[in-house]
Structure 1
Amino acid sequence: MSTILAYTSPARGHLYPAVAILDELRRRGHRVAVRTLASEVPAMLARGFQAAPIAPDIEAISHDDWRAGNPRAALRRNVKVFTQRAHHDANDLDQAIRAERPDAVLVDVNAWGAVAAAEAWGGPWATFCPYPLPLPSRDVPPFGPGLPLARGRLGRMRDRLLRPIVLGTLERVMIPPINRVRAQRGLSAHRMIGEAFGRTALLLYLTAEPFEYTRTDWPDNIVMVGPGTWEPPVEPPSWLDQIDRPLVLVTTSSEFQDDARLVRTAFEALADEPVVVVATLPGGDPATVRVPANGRLATFIPHGPVLDRAVCAVTHGGMGATQKALARGVPVCAVPFGRDQYEVARRVEAARAGSRLPATRLNRDRLRAKVREAMTMAEGARRIQQAFAAAGGASAAVDAIETRLLNAYRAAPS
């Protein structure tokens, strides 16, 4: 039996996708230790993991990118958050390694300090990524603005011209603070953003093609296993069984980004449609929302039971909510507000698994039209559902952990 230590950043959207992998590790006889949000420790203990909270100083540093006036300013604010957390999560992982004495470590890619600490530790370690990977490729547009896939010679020329501009901005903002974190651990500096994902023998990427763009230059250490769709085992509300019309689920970010207007606009847009609109608002104030006769609003509702009956999911473009819908064959109307959501929304559109409406163009009439458009794309959503299932999920992830980390490390000469 091996001990696997998993370490997450302070976001449910990063813990929940990893839970099925941790469950599978435990099912195969491994001892699983977890460091995550304090509020989620009881749930992780109930699953049989050795769980403890990350340092409170980490949770105290929250995102404020929604205050930024443009995407570049938002990126700088997010990088500042990750850098501020890095000092704490590096030391936090050190302490966890001393306490748990793991055989391998699995780290959330957003915990920059913990990633550096895992590399400096010297034992086998892996990372997992539950959002679009900002990995440069000759086959896809430069990451960030959610550009459409190149078509023909002019499209490829566009990518060649924009790649150094867009990628250069990303690297100028991200690489210096990452290297400062690495220098504190005596690690070599990164020259390019792609190097940040290549230091580990294994990066578990929680998606699959063709929702992720097909590339010919994937690094060998990246294994796509499909999304993690676990959610807390909460009893669905009793009123759900009383609904006899098609459902539309509306979701917003679990980390505050001032996106409550998506719920307000969805209720207005769909008030006269022959559907019931079920909306969740975990990061906002429900008192600011007027609920129509065909609407239901809650801070949290388990998405699974709603999606099992849904004809469309309206998401903020978050990778977790979007992939959870597609994993059930439900088409998506993605309304990105920022962060990686532009890339998620564009992938929905490119896969013909739904529609895309930038938040800057969000209004009642446009959203109604985009929801209707998404509802015609169930076939594309089912195609993605099948691709996600074929990727192997938690079983494929644990196969990779066992073969690429545990077995390879044992077989290496001392």
Structure 2
Amino acid sequence: MVKILAYSSPAMGHLFPTSVLLTELRSRGHDVALRTLAAGVATGRDLGFATEAVDPRIEALPLDDWKATNPEDALRRAQGTFARRAEYEVDDLRKAIDEVSPDVVIVDANCWGAAAVAEASGLPWLSFWAFLPYLSSEATPPYGPGLPPLPGEAGRVRDAQLRPQLSAVFNEAMVGPLNRIREQVGVPPVGTADDYVLRPPLMLVATAEPFEYVHPDWPDKIQLIGACDFDPAPKEVPDWLAAIDRRIVLVSTSSEFQGDTDVALMALTALADEPVHVVVTFPAGVPAGITVPANATVLEFVPHSLVLDRAAAAITHGGMGTTQKALVRGVPVCVAPQGRDQFEVARRVEVAGAGTQLLAEDLTPDRLRDKVRQTMTMIEGARRVAAGFAASGGVAHGADLIERRLLGQG
């Protein structure tokens, strides 16, 4: 019997899509062990994985990029957190490997220390990407600010000029900290952020075309496996949701604090007189003293699939989890990106014709209302994206790749 050990970044938004892949592997008779955030241990055990929490010192280092004053500062803050966590991941994954004796190791792409240990172990291993890879591609705009694809010679010139500048920002933030960890573990240094991305023999990415751009120059080791949608919703619809007789707009905020509550609060105001019912979730905590209009329901948590199955549109901050959760159901999305990869997510929603984006500097109640109205007309684009997710083969394809390429089965 094959033993699989997965090491996840301490965030529900990373645990959930990873769990979809692990569930598929377990259904094939493989033993699955998981290391994840403490709040996710019960979820992992309920799914049948031998689950333990990561070293608590890792969770004690939260992302603080929401404090940044500009995108470069945000990137440095985020990568600095990953570097500090990596120091503790090294012994944490070594211990887990000793305890589990796995045949395959799956490492979250944000776990730099764990990736170095997996590489040094000599075991078959792969990286799992719950977010869009920042790997360079000559066929698309350089990663980061969410630039629109520009066809023809003008696009090639623009991208050729900007790509070295934007790559340098990633390299400056990543390469030094990465190599300090890699030297400590005893694996070769990397020269660029792209080098780090390409170290694993296999990369599984939780998205698919046409949401993700086409990258003909990416190697075959990079495989897109669809949305990896995870949402164990109860079988019964709650009475408050069943009683709603209008079109629903779901508004979601991040499960990790990112300062994105302003968008949700503005949505309550902007849509108060629209013929819709607004469902807003604040998983990081409902703000005190908010006024809830008659056509709205505000909750700390509700399984998003329950709402999205009845929704006409969603408003998200551009996190991959909720954005793709809507699109996999053919629900168009209005994205108000805050940082991280969210500008790239927002642009892909727009380019795919599956919704709209509204930047923070342009955010007003009137503009948000207009964007939501436009978004609700873009069902066909959302359905095309949903069809692309299905055509990717999903986690079954991902599990096939692990069995064939890393385990030599089939």
State TM-score, norm by structure 1.
0.97
Cα 1:168/1:288, change in 2 over 3 Å:
farther
Counterpart residue number, 1:373: 374
CA distance in 2, matches of 1:232, 1:292: 29
Quick check: 1:321 aligned with 2:322? Answer: yes
Between the aligned partners of 2:101 and 2:168, the Cα distance in structure 1 is 40
Per the alignment, residue 308 of structure 1 pairs with 309
State the match for 2:169 in structure 1.
169
The amino acid of 1:271's aligned partner reads A
Q: Are 2:233 and 2:305, in contact at CA under 8 Å, matched by a contact in 1?
A: no
Unpaired stretches in structure 1, ≥5 consecutive residues: none
Which residue in 2 is equivalent to 1:84? 84
Matches of 1:285 and 1:386, distance apart in 2: 35
| 2:344 maps to amino acid | E
| Shift, 1:357, TM fit | 0.4
For residue 284 of structure 1, report the CA deviation from its aligned partner: 4.0
One-letter code aligned to 2:333: V
Distance 1:151 1:131 in 2: 25
Q: How far apart in 1 are the matches of 2:321 and 2:243?
A: 27
Corresponding letter in the other structure for 1:327: V
Q: CA shift at 1:40, angstroms?
A: 1.4
Tell me how far 1:45 sits from its aligned partner. Answer: 1.0
- Give the match for residue 143 of structure 1: 143
- Specify the code of the residue in structure 1 equivalent to 2:151: R
Distance between the aligned counterparts of 1:300 and 1:236, measured in 2? 14
Contact 1:125 1:200 in 2 (8 A): yes
Deviations 1:31-78 (A, max 9, x none): 000111111111211211111111110111101111111011111110
Instruction: Tell me what 1:16 maps to.
Output: 16
CA distance in 2, matches of 1:46, 1:220: 34
**Residues 248, 279 of structure 2: 8 Å contact kept:** yes
Instruction: Let me know the Cα RMSD of the aligned residues.
Output: 1.2
Aligned to 1:3: 3
Q: Which amino acid aligns with 1:354?
A: G
Q: Counterpart amino acid of 2:321?
A: G
1:340 aligned partner: 341
Separation in 2 of the partners of 1:374 and 1:262? 16
* 233 and 91 in structure 1: CA distance in 2 versus 1, 3 angstrom threshold: farther
Note the 1:283-302 alignment, pairs <5 A.
283-302=284-303
Q: Partner residue of 1:247?
A: 248
| Separation in structure 2 between the aligned mates of residue 264 and residue 284 of structure 1, nearest angstrom | 13
Query: Does the Cα contact within 8 Å between 1:260 and 1:284 map onto a contact in 2?
Result: no
Give, in whole Å, the separation in 2 of the partners of 1:23 and 1:377. Answer: 33
Supply the distance in 2 between the matched residues of 1:50 and 1:97 (Cα, whole angstroms): 13
CA-to-aligned-CA distance 1:356-387 (integer Å, 9 cap, x gap): 10122211011011111111110000000000
Aligned residue for 2:186? 186
Q: Which residue of 2 aligns with 1:256?
A: 257
1:154 aligns to 2:154 (yes or no) = yes
Query: Aligned equivalents of 1:340 and 1:3: distance in 2?
Result: 32
Query: AA paired with 1:352?
Result: G
2:277, 2:399 → 1: CA distance?
39
Distance 1:47 1:337 in 2: 32
The Cα of 1:131 is off from its aligned counterpart by 0.6
Counterpart for residue 395 of structure 2: 394
Distance 2:300 2:170 in 1: 34
The DSSP-based 3-state class of the residue aligned with 1:287 is: coil
Structure 2: which amino acid aligns with 1:134? Y
The aligned amino acid for 1:330 is: V
Query: 1:255-281: per-residue Cα shift (whole Å, max 9, x none)?
Result: 101111111000011001111000111
Distance 1:96 1:236 in 2: 39
Q: How big is the shift at 1:407? A: 1.2
Structure 1 contact 357–370 (Cα < 8 Å) conserved: yes
2:7 & 2:332 partners in 1: Cα distance? 32
Matched, 1:38 2:49: no
> What are the ranges of 5 or more consecutive residues in structure 2 without an aligned counterpart?
none
Mapped to 2, the partners of 1:154 and 1:20 lie a distance apart of: 41
For 2:187 and 2:89, how far apart are their aligned partners in 1?
16
Aligned to 2:134: 134
Between 214-223 and 327-336, report the one with greater CA deviation. Answer: 214-223
Alignment of 1:111-126 (within 5 A): 111-126=111-126
Equivalent in the alignment of 2:226: 226
Q: CA deviation at 1:286?
A: 2.8
Residues 1:51 and 2:51 are matched in the alignment: yes
Is the CA contact (8 Å cut-off) linking 1:307 and 1:325 kept in structure 2? yes
